[in-house]
Amino acid sequence: MKLLGTAALQLLATLLVAAGSIGLAAGAEAADKVKVGVFPVSSSLPYFIARDLGYFQDLNIEPEMITLMGGPPNVAALITGQIEVSVVLVTLEGLNANLKKPGAAMYVAMNGQNASHRMEQFVVRSGLADKVKSLADFKGLKLMSAPGPANLNTARGILAKAGLKDSEYSIDQLDMG
């Protein structure tokens, strides 16, 4: 596995502790610059919180944020060395990075969700709120998913676990725009 630079590893560690509000002291030397691929979605929130609360500054890290729309651009940037850290990849995309170029990624996962604040969810428009009370009630409906095979396959897997067959609903990708 490719060893990441100290600053990149510290940035990953900071992302993990940001939700727990733990900071570390900085040295007096110049800040380490780290190129960070950021897919600006809700699951990237710990990065923005850590940045805004000064956690990277406390660790003497200067993140250079590069906005990349989705996992595949982040994987490509990791593989080609354009970024040192990707803030958010779904598990499948993180694994694919290492399949495409062994050692390209060290995958660290943090899931900041609970019963009240869910990151993965199915949302029903108001006109269907009375009809849809469970995932099984999606039978016969047209669904939209966040783009990408990982999101589509996750949604399909969850619906299958709820007892729905692929033929009992339709699902398409919703453009991020």
Q: What is the reported pTM? A: 0.53
Amino acid at 87: V
Contact 82, 34 (CB under 8 A): no
**What is residue 140's predicted lDDT score, i.e. its pLDDT?**
94
Does residue 59 lie in a domain region? yes
11 and 60, same domain (yes or no): yes
84 and 135, same domain (yes or no): no
**What is residue 102's predicted lDDT score, i.e. its pLDDT?**
81
**What is residue 19's predicted lDDT score, i.e. its pLDDT?**
37
Does residue 1 lie in a domain region? no
52 and 11, same domain (yes or no): yes
55 and 91, same domain (yes or no): yes
Does residue 119 lie in a domain region? no
Does residue 113 lie in a domain region? no
Report the domain count for the chain. 2
Q: Is the pLDDT of residue 2 over 60?
A: no
**What is residue 27's predicted lDDT score, i.e. its pLDDT?**
45
86 and 49, same domain (yes or no): yes
pLDDT interval class at 138 (50, 70, 90): very high
Does residue 144 lie in a domain region? yes
95 and 146, same domain (yes or no): no
Mean pLDDT of the chain: 78
**What is residue 22's predicted lDDT score, i.e. its pLDDT?**
36
Structural domain boundaries, residue 134: 126-173
91 and 153, same domain (yes or no): no
95 and 130, same domain (yes or no): no
pLDDT digits (tens, 9 = 90+) for 140-170: 999 988 777 777 888 899 899 999 999 999 9
Q: Show contacts of 20-24: CB within 8 Å, 24+ apart.
A: 21/53, 23/53, 23/54, 23/55, 23/58, 23/59, 24/58, 24/59
Does residue 87 lie in a domain region? yes
Q: Is the pLDDT of residue 3 over 70?
A: no
Q: Lowest-confidence range among 87-91, 108-112, 124-128?
A: 108-112
Does residue 44 lie in a domain region? yes
Q: Lowest-confidence range among 13-27, 44-58, 60-74?
A: 13-27
130 and 96, same domain (yes or no): no
Does residue 107 lie in a domain region? no
Residue 29: CATH number of its domain: 3.40.190
pLDDT interval class at 95 (50, 70, 90): confident
Residue 152 burial by Cβ neighbours in a 10 Å radius (0-12, 13-18, 19+): middle
Residue where a domain stops, chosen among 100, 115, 149: 100
33 and 82, same domain (yes or no): yes
**What is residue 53's predicted lDDT score, i.e. its pLDDT?**
93
